[in-house]
Amino acid sequence: MEVLAKRLHLLDEPESLSQLTESLLLHGLKHEVVIDILNHIPFNDNISFANVQLLIEESLQHLRIMGFTERDVTTFLTSDSRILLTNSATRTLVFANLKGLFTTEDALHVLKKCPNVLSDPWRETNEKFDYAYFTMGYKQRNILKTQLFQHSLHHTQDRHIFLVRAGLFVYVKEKDDPKLNPNPALHDVIDTTNKYFATYLGNISLEEYNTYLKMREIEREEEEEFSDESDDEEEDKQHSLKQFKKRKEKKK
């Protein structure tokens, strides 16, 4: 009833709804997971019950082929049901991209911990990795112990920038001995609560840290405005250059 209360149009095809629900339950999914899936399926003129059921069947089969167990699949769908509506080509590409950053075994580990990677835009996932690896200096072995890909890039940046400004984080060069790294574990930096982070890593109160986060929001807005202005200026320069070339060609 919960799903029907939110999406009454599903009642137009009660038999198809029943078949789809039974199919999901037969795959061992819990009722609450099935409801979540039905609530997020973007039914429209191009997506019917029939092709949704086919897509789900293909998705479940493909996830198993990729090397995930039934338990993994259930965990995926419980945390992010969008995965079912991601086509196999996209999942294959994401997995291939991950294997460019991690070993095959570690790539599977990442997907088990952060299944949202299968449905998130790859550009966002890659930006998160690049920031942790290149800007913060953490290696794959550090990243694997965290929920990096479940956090927003802004979250990771805010935590890191705070520590840098407070003098509590230094960039460790590649040639430096990793055992001498004075920085806190990446898990402690990004996976902890704001209260824990502020108190134990930042040595400030939660209220002070919340004030810092508000300041970061203002900074981001200003950075975006500056970026937009720079883009406009660049477009103007390119336009002026084209006009100049045209006038020059006419003179010839």
What is the 8-class DSSP label of residue 131? I
Q: What are phi and psi of 184, to 5 degrees?
A: -70, 160
Are 78 and 202 found together in one domain?
no
What pTM, to 2 d.p., does this model score? 0.75
Asked whether residue 8 falls in the same domain as residue 131, the answer is: no
pLDDT of residue 8: 54
Choose from 44-53, 64-73, 119-128 the range with maximum mean pLDDT: 119-128
- In the chain, what are the helix, strand and coil shares in percent, each to the nearest 5? 75, 0, 25
Residue 244 pLDDT? 45
Considering the domain architecture, whether residues 17 and 76 belong to the same structural domain is answered as yes
- Number of domains comprising the chain: 2
Q: Considering the chain, what percentage of its residues have pLDDT values greater than 70? A: 77
Would you state the pLDDT for residue 230? Answer: 57
Same domain for 38 and 90, yes or no, is yes
Q: Flag the least confident range among 4-18, 128-142, 186-200.
A: 4-18
- Who has greater pLDDT, 29 or 164? 164
Domain identity same for 97 and 199 = no
242/153 same-domain check: yes
Under 8 Å CB-to-CB from 53, ≥6 apart: which residues?
Answer: 19, 20, 23
pLDDT computed for residue 240 by the predictor: 55
Give the pLDDT band of residue 49 (cuts 50, 70, 90). low
